[in-house]
Amino acid sequence: MDKNNTRSGIPKEKFEFADRDSTISEKKFNHKPIGYFRDAWNRFRKNKASIVAAIIILLIVLYALIVPFLGISEEMNLYYAKKGPRMTWLRAFGIADGGVDEAFNDLTYIKLLAIGAAAEDRDGTASVSFAEGQTSEYQPVLESQGYTAQALPGGRYKFTYQARVDSYLQLGFVNMQVTQSEYAKILEWQEESGLQVIYPLIDEKSGYFYSGAPEADKANYWYKTNQRGAPVSVNEETGQVTALSLSTDLRLEDNYLRDANGDPVYHTYTGGGDIHTAAYKVRVLYYNYYQYRTGSEPNYLLGTDSQGYDMALRLAKGIRLSLLVAVFVSVINFMIGGIYGAIEGYYGGLLDLIMERISDILSGVPFIVVATLFQIHLAQKLGPIPGMLFAFVVTGWIGTASRMRSQFYRFKNQEYVMAARTLGARDRRIILKHIFPNTLGTLITSIALVIPGVVFNESMLSFLGIVNLGTAETTSLGTLLSDASSIWTNYPHLMIIPAVVISLMMICFNLFGNGLRDAFNPSLRGVEE
């Protein structure tokens, strides 16, 4: 063995004698002590899943806070209820175009295509051909996907047309009543904007009107039809009626209401006494009427819900309500459970035994029963939200109290607590100054893990109809799911969007809580390199 080496194999020149009069500086070491919260943060940021979950939670919270201040209309619009996402500037890319894929028979397909021709016929002269109407900006058919023909007895055929249509333009024309003053305002807006809102009325008593059409769709049958709704051509001299079929050279004959001079009628008086109360019946192109009312084209980032509210705004309100309820419940449970568990764990003995039995009794009561009873008896006086909060608080603190109790049992016999008690410290000081700070990490983690449970239970109560939060001002994620439960097969976005948000919140809060639990675990404390 080399004499220059020690038995351990380390060269002698690596050793250095310490000066017993000097102090060894901590700078000579490659580490330094760090605080409790700094150490927790260092461990938390190494948990990539928790960091991603925290970012997603932050984005959801920002969405709920910012969207209500973007000037989105809060009005209910039944004409545009249950529509898909539509943004004007994205339509050119085939994204969020409000389109739906539907199948039509030959008669309803003609009616759909005729909307574009009627929209271009602004003066009621019926000079716009059916083919020219296909190039109109108000033409609802976005893409024709062809047709299939099915042979029927008697040499007839049944045609089924597949097409992708803009559901907002598909509404077409609507009959409505407006006051005389409102009628004047619409005419003035038409002159300023150059957009036609009011169109000629339809003669429903001519004998060539499809009276069997749904009331909301009658304004779109502006052309002469038979009682089946099929377009017809009428020979004015002989009175002969000829049924028309869909073809490239199809020309529909208008069925407008006309005055004695043969000019189209744009409004009829239906009642009232003066300019403010006189009611007019008018026929409007609803797409332009919407622009008159709101100042912009229909733009709904996430579509509309079953009542015609903007889905993006309703979703933001639902998230905000769910999070506010969850945070409020967590804080209240933290306070009640913290005090209750601290008393149990610190004093123990008979008091602990009695308090534990009280907790056992309350924990055995089903939450859904408590919530239902509170909604039946308390919600009528205080409202559904306070009644729901009371239901959450009645038993929600038990889990926090149990965690706090176990932590106090763990720390109350530690040496530093015994020293404080020996020096004459009072119980309140020992609880608040010496034991409680050591339980803070566990309690913070419990709050983060309580939030997803509250969100889930609140959504469940709203979905089942136990709590009714579906008003014009407020809603919840569970209410949105409940409203969509019976129609989601036809309008899947009404169910998918809130379901995805609830799932994200549940997953992310659990991942975030698990990250906090690991970060505040004292057994994992270390040093900063």
Each of the 529 residues of the chain gets a pLDDT tens digit; together they read 455 554 556 676 666 665 555 555 544 545 566 666 777 788 888 888 989 999 999 999 999 999 988 878 888 889 999 998 998 888 878 788 888 888 998 889 999 999 998 998 888 887 777 778 888 899 999 888 887 877 767 667 777 889 999 999 999 999 999 999 999 999 999 999 999 999 999 999 888 999 888 888 999 999 999 988 889 988 877 878 888 888 767 888 899 999 888 899 999 998 877 777 889 999 999 999 999 998 889 999 899 988 889 999 999 998 998 888 888 888 888 889 888 988 888 888 898 899 989 988 888 888 888 888 888 877 777 778 888 888 888 888 888 888 888 888 888 888 888 888 888 888 888 888 888 877 777 777 777 778 888 888 888 888 888 887 777 677 888 888 888 888 888 888 888 999 999 999 989 988 888 888 777 765 555 444 4
Closest CA to 257 of 199, 198, 208, 202: 202
Q: Is the pTM of this model over 0.75?
A: yes
Give backbone dihedrals phi and psi of 281, rounded to 5 degrees, phi first.
Answer: -90, 125
Q: What six digits make up the tokens of 495? A: 């169910």
Residue 527: its pLDDT value, please? 43
Q: Is 312 exposed, middle or buried (0-12, 13-18, 19+ CB in 10 A)?
A: buried
CA-nearest of 141, 62, 524 to 316 is: 62
pLDDT attached to residue 369:
85
- Give the residue from 471, 462, 102 showing the smallest Cα distance to 305: 471
Structural domains present in the chain: 52-67+310-524 (1.10.3720.10), 86-294 (no CATH)
Instruction: Report strand pairing: 156-166 vs 279-285.
Output: unpaired
- Return the residue matching tokens 């009642």: 271
Dig out the tokens for 307 from the structure: 């009542």
Measure Cα distances from 82 to 181, 287, 429, 490, 495 in Å.
32, 16, 60, 9, 11
Please list, in sequence order, all residues whose beta carbon lies within 8 angstroms of the beta carbon of residue 64, skipping any fewer than 6 positions away.
316, 317, 319, 320, 323
Q: Where is 323: in which H helix or E strand?
A: helix 311-347
Quick count: other Cβ atoms within 10 Å of Cβ 122? 15
